Structure 1
Amino acid sequence: MSRNMITVPSEIARKSYLYLKEKISSNKKATIVIIGGYFIVVCLIAVVVTFVTCNSAVTAKKEGLFVIPSGNIKFNPNQKSTYEEEISSLNQFFIDYYNATKADDTQVIRCPLGFEPNATQVCILPEQYLQLDCNPENVWNYNTTAPCIILSYNGTTKFDPYDDIEELPSQMPDILKEQIKEFGYFYNNTMLEVIWVSCTSGIIYSYNLGFPKYFFSNTNLPGYRKPIVVLQLNLGNEINTIVEITCNMWAKGIDNEKNSETSVKFTVTVGKNYQEI
């Protein structure tokens, strides 16, 4: 019985086989064309899938400065549905950022500027950076033309901060230099160790001007948090305009024109049917 099941096809299978054989015999050329076309389509799909998969993997592992929300931001302040994804990504980042105060043997602490973590400590920013418009309760201000974004850095590179105001490079925007002086990032006439951050076009408020050096210590510890800078944009005069923004990091040895790791570009657009309430 076992042999019959293997060597004798069922009546339906036999008829199907004979039908296909007849069709192939009667029109071999058409069949070859169809099979060839199918093969090409399968190959193209495989190439696309492989490209997308590999590109996603590279993006996920790429070191460098990045922005949240990512990509090209487009929203209408009067329509919550147009910025729900942006709010979701910002909220998720902060849930992960502030979720725990301890992980295994790591102590996650709120660090003031100038703090030096020991071998078991990693830092997060105090909540005071979220007391104004840029916070989950205020939907990150996406119901206005002054939405908030977050800059962060993914990687283990050790940057060397500037030691003196006179060391700040000529390429650094003057407005950032003025803010560094105005905000008093000094202790006993010594500049605090910060990797500064600047952005082009429409930045009206920065909740901190850069990444404190302590964010680049103990990056391999469980519970490590990526550094953050919270920024607010001013797009009130840019309705229905694609605003291109470039952000750069500043420290000794950084050349933003040659090093893509320390720069990020993105666009923001306020929808054309926005009307001031």
Structure 2
Amino acid sequence: MADKTKVAEQYYAPPPDLGKWESLRIFLWNSETGQFLGRTGSSWAKILLFYLIFYAVLVGFFAAMLAIFYQTLDSRMPKWQMDSSLIGNNPGLGFRPMPDSANVESTLIYYKANDKGSVLKWAQVIDDYLEQYRKKGSGSGEASGAENRVPCFPTSHNLSEKQVCDVPIEEFHPCTSANQYNYEEAGPCVFLKLNKIFNWIPDSYNSTDNLPARMPEDLKQHIKLVSGKPEANTVWVSCEGENPADVENIGPVQYIPRRGFPAYYYPFTNKEGYLSPLVAVLFEKPRTGVLINIECRAWAKNINYDRYERRGSVHFELMVDRS
């Protein structure tokens, strides 16, 4: 007699062995259970509602945080300035023309003085860069901010809230477009600019007191001539050969229209139309066919110099060929 208390054994019945296409058809739509892609209509509605609410809250939270963040910013000035900023308070130097962007690590200016194509190539690079300096205010709005630029002088440059000092590139002769920046004469011009740092004001060497020992003698003599005059309030520049051989090969150097960047261009406060002042360095007679390593340096009491980290200076190579 069978034990009535014994639970009858039950066996799991495996699902029918369906083919690949039949399984796919049932996954897409199961008519018996009303499931689409493995879920019923109510299951799909619940999960879609969950993700709709989840992403709506996420987007709302992100938008709120972004709005709060923008309240802490000023569109015309950086929040962190000078020592508190990533770039610090030590401006560096830049030069133009820059070599081809295809080789970003190159700092070589090489051309053939008797090859018009080679000369025009470099002249065009400078033309393109100086185009922004040629735009003058016309009142038509054609050149944004150009109408704010006014002539400034060491003795008088009272500016309104919107005005900025103009950079008169027509005074840079012979470093002009009409003269192809003197490249055809094998005496090329290289333009220097001081990098912008918001609210930075130069502390100039405006007298012969406590001039650095490493300052070039010709610059010391120049400062002595203008000492005590408004022209002395300048960020001075000097360009020299880096090595003894380079010093011999570089030849005479002119600084046009002046020996540095006048202090009345500073501070940079992001006014519309502001342009960095320029110094055109004319290498009158560099030795041809020779690679010359050149270092240009900015001189001010609050510009720190380090050759290896390129602080307060810029390096480039110049090679003029006549063959």
- Please, what TM-score do these two structures have when normalized by structure 1? 0.67
* Match of residue 253, structure 1, among 302, 313, 317: 302
The Cα offsets for residues 232-265 of structure 1, whole Å up to 9 and x where unpaired, read as 00344x1211011000001113231276341000
State the one-letter code of the partner of 1:192.
A
Matched, 1:75 2:111: yes
What's 2:266 paired with? 216
What's 1:88 paired with? 124
Distance change >3 Å, CA 241–CA 204, structure 1 → 2: same
What's 2:238 paired with? 198
Structure 2 counterparts to residues 1-150 of structure 1, below 5 A: 64-70=92-98, 71-101=107-137, 103-104=144-145, 107-116=148-157, 117-127=159-169, 129-130=171-172, 132-150=173-191
What's 2:219 paired with? 176
What's 1:265 paired with? 315
Distance change >3 Å, CA 104–CA 239, structure 1 → 2: closer
Determine which structure has more spread, i.e. the larger CA radius of gyration. Answer: 2
SS at match of 2:316: strand
SS at match of 1:200: strand
Distance in 2 separating the partners of 1:79 and 1:109: 39
State the one-letter code of the partner of 1:122.
V
Higher relative contact order (CA 8 A, sep 6+): 1
Distance change >3 Å, CA 170–CA 118, structure 1 → 2: farther
Q: What root-mean-square deviation, in Å, do the aligned CA atoms of Structure 1 and Structure 2 show?
A: 2.8
Deviation, structure 1 residue 145: 1.8
- Between Structure 1 and Structure 2, which shows a larger proportion of strand residues? 1
Deviation, structure 1 residue 186: 4.4
Give unpaired runs (5+ residues) of structure 1: 8-61
- Between Structure 1 and Structure 2, which shows a larger proportion of helix residues? 1
The percentage of aligned residue pairs carrying the same residue is 26
Distance in 1 separating the partners of 2:253 and 2:146: 40
Deviation, structure 1 residue 107: 1.8
The Cα offsets for residues 91-127 of structure 1, whole Å up to 9 and x where unpaired, read as 1222211212374596201212244444322112335
SS at match of 1:165: coil
State the one-letter code of the partner of 1:228.
L
Following superposition, which runs of at least 4 residues in structure 1 exceed 6 angstroms of deviation? none
Distance in 2 separating the partners of 1:227 and 1:143: 25
State the one-letter code of the partner of 1:245.
I
Give unpaired runs (5+ residues) of structure 2: 1-20, 26-89, 99-106, 139-143, 242-249
The Cα offsets for residues 147-203 of structure 1, whole Å up to 9 and x where unpaired, read as 111001222133211242223222210111123334x3643xx66310101110334
- Please, what TM-score do these two structures have when normalized by structure 2? 0.58
Distance in 2 separating the partners of 1:214 and 1:256: 23
State the one-letter code of the partner of 1:212.
P
